[in-house]
């Protein structure tokens, strides 16, 4: 993975996971203001990880999820399993465009109303804004390298989100099938992703789904 993403780069697959955890923290506290105490362990965990962002090698996704599971278990936080929340959000990112869009869209945290939950100049806020700026600076080839590294990082820890969590609408019903197709697509395309990646991936998915339909109809 380090061959894809330079150690000096602000954006790495691990930092993408931290961004997504910040997004989850923001979404939960925005929709339910009665849960800040339950989210304190996650907040302290994020502060610790962001403060240690220069650590290399960075934790694997499995190591990160193991730590998150301990947090959820120790706090009896049955409604917010942080490991499952992270995995559910990671698994639906299946194109470079979705990866870049998900990061750039985090600027919504800093609107006047939203900033009640995540301050622009807090440690988390500064981290998010730096990542957005870094993503905006990346050229297409850099995004491709980051995405390939992200796929490798994520696929080393393939865990299907729980049925309970999927009913909460974080993950589409077809996500496991789409993820499998995305993985097979990238297994055949280890080189830098071409500029028509979205079109080629769509074509690949359609072809695979049609072939499955033909087999089922026989």
Q: Domain for residue 188, yes or no?
A: no
27 within some domain? yes
Tell me which residue range forms the domain holding 105.
13-171
DSSP string, 41-63: HHHHHHHHHHHTTT-SSPPPHHH
pLDDT of residue 119: 78
- pTM exceeding 0.85: no
Instruction: Find where tokens 């600027």 sit.
Output: 107
Tally of domains within the chain: 1
The answer to whether position 141 is within a domain reads yes
Six-digit token string for 80: 């917010």
**Do 172 and 32 touch, CB atoms closer than 8 A?**
no
Q: Identify the residue whose tokens are 């120790």.
A: 74
Q: What is the mean pLDDT of each run of 10 residues along the chain (218 residues)?
A: 48 94 85 69 89 79 92 62 90 94 87 67 88 92 93 77 38 41 45 43 54 54
């Amino acid at each position: 993975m380090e061959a894809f993403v330079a150690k000096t780069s602000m954006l790495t697959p691990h930092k993408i996971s931290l961004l997504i955890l910040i997004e989850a923290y923001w979404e939960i506290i925005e929709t339910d203001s009665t849960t800040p105490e339950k989210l304190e362990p996650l907040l302290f965990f994020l502060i610790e990880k962001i403060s240690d962002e220069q650590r290399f090698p960075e934790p694997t996704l499995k190591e990160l999820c193991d730590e998150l599971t301990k947090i959820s278990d120790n706090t009896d936080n049955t409604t917010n399993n942080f490991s499952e929340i992270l995995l559910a959000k990671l698994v639906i990112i299946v194109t470079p465009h979705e990866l870049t869009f998900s990061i750039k869209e985090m600027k919504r945290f800093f609107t006047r109303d939203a900033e009640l939950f995540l301050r622009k100049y807090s440690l988390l806020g500064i981290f998010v804004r730096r990542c957005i700026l870094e993503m905006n600076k990346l050229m297409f080839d850099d995004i491709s390298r980051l995405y390939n590294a992200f796929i490798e990082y994520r696929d080393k820890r393939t865990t299907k989100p729980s049925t309970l969590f999927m009913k909460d609408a974080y993950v589409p019903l077809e996500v496991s099938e789409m993820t499998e197709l995305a993985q097979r697509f990238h297994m055949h395309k280890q080189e830098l992703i071409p500029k028509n990646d979205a079109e080629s991936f769509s074509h690949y998915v359609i072809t695979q789904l049609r072939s499955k339909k033909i087999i089922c109809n026989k």
